[in-house]
Structure 1
Amino acid sequence: MKQAAASHHREISHKTSVRRPSVLGRLRKDKWMYLLLTPGVLYFIIFKYVPMWGVLLAFQNYQPFLGFWKSEWVGFEHFRVFFENPEFFMLFRNTLLLSLYNLLFFFPAPIILALLLNEVRISIFKRSIQTLIYIPHFISMVIVASLTYVFLTTEGGVINELLNKYIGTKIDFLSSPDWFRPMIIIQTIWKECGWGTIIFLAALAGVDVEQYEAAIMDGANRWKQTWHITLPSIRSTIVILLILRMGHVLDNGFEQIYLLLNPLNREVAEVFDTYVYMVGITQGAFSYSTAVGLFKAVVGVILVFGSNWLAKRFGQSGLY
């Protein structure tokens, strides 16, 4: 009996060892897949990982004429100056509020739009709507800012001309601090909402149709089907995208903010991205601006890992 068990164990071990190909064998077997993967890997290595050595400038008093190796090392001095800067809390507040508004208003918008598109049964009508809502994603932010100016300027702007015609007054949208954040959120929703539906529509395509049929047999209406079947089915996709979004809490994008920024709304419009440009490019404070950028990156990494941990704690599938 013992000999039979030992023989059976050796046979299983032999089969397992036979079935496990070597690294070279896996590379040879999937060579075309790895070849297709090569451009993407090279892109990240060359343009993402290699430039990371530049974060060391945050710990130097970098002087271009001295070069990287001869510039003075100052440790965390730039971080201390940044945190003691009176503008730090203004920048942090503005950046955080814009990110919060994006999470509250922009993040759910593609989900809602995808759910609505998923209910459209006429194929040609659905494809036409998708094409129309995808187009703004490919429009340059400079064009979007120009359109915003054309519509909202007090000197002949379409919106202000209508306001003046019907209520007898004009609103200075472009210079008013109260209107800056709503403009940014509306721009973001208009430009990126349609493009964001692609992932959710792909997730919705994988929902089991038999679940809807069973729900209909039980008397569930469309709202109950959406709440109890559709949303739970794409919950993992929503959670993963939310975790990734948390990594960009302090990253509001440079172009969009910079193009609408002016001295009259600076108190609510200046964020870390525009501040880095101002002090790093226009004033030549390379080390100081690198320290600000590194601070943003560290906060983003912490938020990604923290939100992933929370997702796991609540029983959701995270990034890893």
Structure 2
Amino acid sequence: MSVATQSARTSSRAKRAERKAKEKRAAVLQTQMAPRKLGFIGTVKRYWQLWAMALPAIVFVAIFNYGPMYGIQLAFREFDFTKGLTGGEWVGLKYFKQFFDSPLFGTLMANTVRISLWTLVMGFIFPIILALLINQIRSSKVKGFVQTITYLPHFISTVVIVSMINLFLKPDAGVLTRVLGVIGIQSDNFMGDPNLFTPIYWITEVWQHVGWNSIIYLAALSSVDTALYEAAKIDGAGRLQLIRYVDLPAIMPTCGVLLILNMGNVLNVGFEKVFLMQNTLNLDASEVISTYTYKIGILQSQFSYSTAIGLFNMLINFAFLVIANQISRKVSNSGIF
């Protein structure tokens, strides 16, 4: 064997050994850098300061959100005051069947879904529009003034809001009654007309909360890189093009998450406002699940029946939440879980 051949083999072995050593060092380094699965106990020990900060919130949620769930069993029992929450006779799905067979079931579901969907859709669209419009204001003073004016109604109590609605829509004397009459919209009693209850509800709901709900969209818009606006303007984009190609894509993930969260409250129509706006004339359009549960459970003391209705309402909301989350994950690859 020649000296050159032996030298080449030796060099080849050395290169292979060096390559294997590098691969071994890289594997060891990757193992050290990879996050270790600590488990729950290990995580608490390592990040105990963060867990200590979160402990009051965890205790609060456990007591006031999960603790009352113990009473769900009333939906499956014949409640007896003398025997407590768990002493009544087990009746299974009796009260669920009673609710489904009730002549009011169709009316309650139709009213609840109609009012909820109108409020959900309009209450989702208008804050986005308002945030986009406010974001186009260049003067910081004018922007602050507009934000303050639109936020203020959110802090008005529901009782005051309903009192304002009754005063403004008072027959023959209300300010809005006269204005609507001038433009051709007339009614003998706006608050007593079943066909007008839903529009009055969602319009006033949007007016009250549109400014407050736009805050999170304004926060998302404030994080947009200004270089994107400058580049778009150089390319000749106008304000509508800036909104379409810069602003909207920036807030779409936020819109998706908020829509999913709102879908979890599809059947949770605000009890106080609906109850205060109800009267004998508009009851056919204003009776919803929450007000019916109050009347059955509190006024008529049918606690098991009202609990069954409330549990059914919760399950429907949870189903809407899961469905909306799955659709969002498939469409925009974003969700809450």
Query: Fold-level match, TM-score > 0.5?
Result: yes
Shift of residue 157 of structure 1? 2.6
Contact 1:60/1:287 (<8 A) preserved: yes
Partner Cα distance (2:184, 2:324) in 1:
47
Which of 289, 302, 307 pairs up with 1:272?
Answer: 289
1:194 aligned partner: 211
- Partner of residue 226 from structure 2, selected from 199, 204, 209: 209
Q: Does 1:171 align with 2:188?
A: yes
**CA distance in 1 between partners of 2:253 and 2:181 (Å):** 48
The answer (yes or no) to whether the contact 2:76–2:91 under 8 Å persists in 1 is yes
Q: Compared with structure 1, are the counterparts of its residues 104 and 6 closer, same or farther at alpha carbon in structure 2 (3 Å cutoff)?
A: closer
Match of 1:220 among 233, 237, 245: 237
User: Cα–Cα, structure 1 residues 94 and 168, in superposed 2: closer, same or farther, change >3 Å?
Assistant: closer
Identity of aligned residues (%): 37
1:129 is aligned to 2:122: no
Give the corresponding residue for 1:260.
277
Worse overlay, 151-160 or 310-319: 151-160
Contact 1:94 1:271 in 2 (8 A): yes
How far apart, in 1, do the equivalents of 2:238 and 2:153 lie? Answer: 34
| Alignment partner of 2:197 out of 148, 168, 180 | 180
**Which SS does the other structure have where 1:69 is aligned?**
strand
Deviation at 1:25?
7.2
Aligned to 1:86: 103
The alignment status of 1:47 with 2:64, answered yes or no, reads yes
How many angstroms apart in 2 are the aligned matches of 1:110 and 1:155? 33
Q: Which residue of 2 aligns with 1:119?
A: 136
State whether residues 71 and 85 of structure 2, in contact with CA within 8 Å, keep that contact through their aligned partners in structure 1: no
Letter in 2 for 1:107: F
Distance in 1, Cα, partners of 2:247 & 2:236: 16
Larger radius of gyration: 2
Query: 1:46-65, CA deviations, whole angstroms, 9 ceiling, x for partnerless residues?
Result: 11011111111111111222
Change (3 A) 1:221 1:8: same
**Is 1:299 aligned to 2:280, yes or no?**
no
Q: TM-score, normalised by structure 1?
A: 0.91
Q: Which amino acid aligns with 2:90?
A: W
Distance 2:330 2:185 in 1: 56
Contact 1:203–1:234 under 8 Å retained in 2 = yes
* Residue matched to 2:256: 239
Query: 1:292 Cα shift?
Result: 0.6
C-alpha RMSD of matched pairs (Å):
2.5
Provide the aligned length of Structure 1 versus Structure 2. 319
Assess if the C-alpha contact under 8 Å between 1:137 and 1:195 holds in 2.
yes
The change in CA–CA distance for 1:265 and 1:313 in structure 2 (over 3 A counts) is same
- Cα 1:78–1:310 change in 2 (3 A) is same
Q: Unpaired segments of 5 or more residues in structure 2?
A: 1-16
Does residue 1:71 correspond to 2:88, yes or no?
yes
Q: Does the 8 Å contact 2:120/2:266 carry over to 1?
A: no
Alignment CA distance shift 1:111-1:169 (3 Å): closer
Whole-Å separation in 2 of the counterparts to 1:166 and 1:260: 25
Offset from partner CA, 1:43-98 (integer Å, 9 cap, x none): 21111011111111111111222211210110001000100111000000001111
Closer, same or farther in 2 for the Cα pair 1:302/1:166, shift >3 Å? closer
1:282 maps onto 2:309 in alignment: no
Structure 1 CA distance for aligned equivalents of residues 37 and 323 of structure 2 = 37
Worse-matched range after superposition: 26-35 or 53-62: 26-35
Equivalent of residue 334 in structure 2, options 301, 317, 320:
317
Equivalent runs, 1:149-168 vs 2, <5 Å: 149-154=166-171, 156-160=173-177
In structure 1, what residue type is equivalent to 2:67? V
- Contact 1:236 1:316 survives alignment (8 Å): no
Taking a change above 3 Å as real, the CA distance of residues 160 and 230 of structure 1, as seen in their structure-2 partners, is: closer
Paired residues of 1:163 and 1:170 also in contact (CA < 8 A): no
Taking a change above 3 Å as real, the CA distance of residues 52 and 267 of structure 1, as seen in their structure-2 partners, is: same
Question: What's the secondary structure of 1:263's corresponding residue?
Answer: coil
Cα distance, 1:162–1:318 mapped onto 2, change above 3 Å: closer
Q: Distance in 2 between matches of 1:112 and 1:52?
A: 39
Cα contact 1:249–1:300 (8 A) shared by 2: yes
Which residue identity is paired with 2:240?
Answer: W
The structural deviation recorded for 1:21 is: 9.2
- The one-letter amino acid paired with 2:161 is V
Whole-angstrom distance in 2 between the partners of 1:181 and 1:169: 16
Counterparts of 1:164 and 1:4 in 2: how far apart (Å)? Answer: 88
Alpha-carbon offset, residue 232 of structure 1: 1.1
Query: Residues 168 and 125 from structure 1, CA distance in 2 versus in 1: closer, same or farther, beyond 3 angstroms?
Result: closer
Is the 2:263–2:321 Cα contact (8 Å) retained in structure 1?
yes
1:184-209 per-residue CA deviation (whole Å, 9 max, x = no partner) reads: 01210111111101111111111122
